[in-house]
A and B are shown apart, each in its own frame.
Chain A
Amino acid sequence: EDQVTQSPEALRLQEGESSSLNCSYTVSGLRGLFWYRQDPGKGPEFLFTLYSAGEEKEKERLKATLTKKESFLHITAPKPEDSATYLCAVPLNTGFQKLVFGTGTRLLVSP
């Protein structure tokens, strides 16, 4: 069964304390992996697409990397405004537009 698992469920950091979030998947024939950010009471906001192992994408303090089994979202010197839930998703092999999402990592960055 296609599955996406994110860890940790929640992460509390001090401002400036770098860390990484993990997304592991069991989809065969990966056709991409996607990271989204979700603020409380809002819809997810697209961050990155990664298509092949070894690929990296960066945006401000965030860097996403991909291996054959997992993806990492590295947060460097986070600020309080980085506090959000981070979701990853992969396309199902049986569906053209179908994404399966992980349950997310809730990140809280304290000043």
Chain B
Amino acid sequence: NAGVTQTPKFQVLKTGQSMTLQCAQDMNHEYMSWYRQDPGMGLRLIHYSVGAGITDQGEVPNGYNVSRSTTEDFPLRLLSAAPSQTSVYFCASSSAGTDRYEQYFGPGTRLTVT
């Protein structure tokens, strides 16, 4: 199993550009989430999904869109990048059972917006 994979590892964008961060998992997990991690702020939830076709907002959803058409994939779209979105982005997945909070994280995407 590859677990949770994320692409790209690094990305530099100019203000106003759009892009999609990719996330895939091969563990057949129902739940998937996107977090951003900033120095001194901890991990903050952006969006999450409890299954294909179902998504909801987390703590910091503005400027980001998600969709979940398959169990495996959960892409995060930046609509119009801003310097405030410079961060490290992590995708995570977990099962829907009693261990649903045991989240498996991907290696992260480091995004810089200039």
Contact = CB atoms under 8 A, between A and B. Distances in A.
A100 B101 CA distance: 11
Contact of B42 (A43, A45, A91, A102): A102
Given A45-B105, A97-B50, 4 more contacts: A44-B105, A87-B43, A96-B100, A97-B48
Contacts of B31: 97
Interface size class of A (residues with CB under 8 A): 20 to 34
Given A42-B107, A43-B108, A44-B90, A98 B48 contact: yes
A32 interface: yes
Contacts of B90: 43-44
B40 interface: yes
B45 A99 contact: yes
Interface of B: 4, 31, 33, 40-45, 48, 50, 58-59, 90, 92, 94, 99-108
Q: What are the 8 closest A-B residue pairs judged by CB atoms, nearest first?
A: A43-B105, A101-B43, A103-B42, A101-B42, A44-B105, A46-B102, A43-B90, A97-B31
A99 B34 CA distance: 11
A43 B4 contact: yes
Contacts of A32: 101
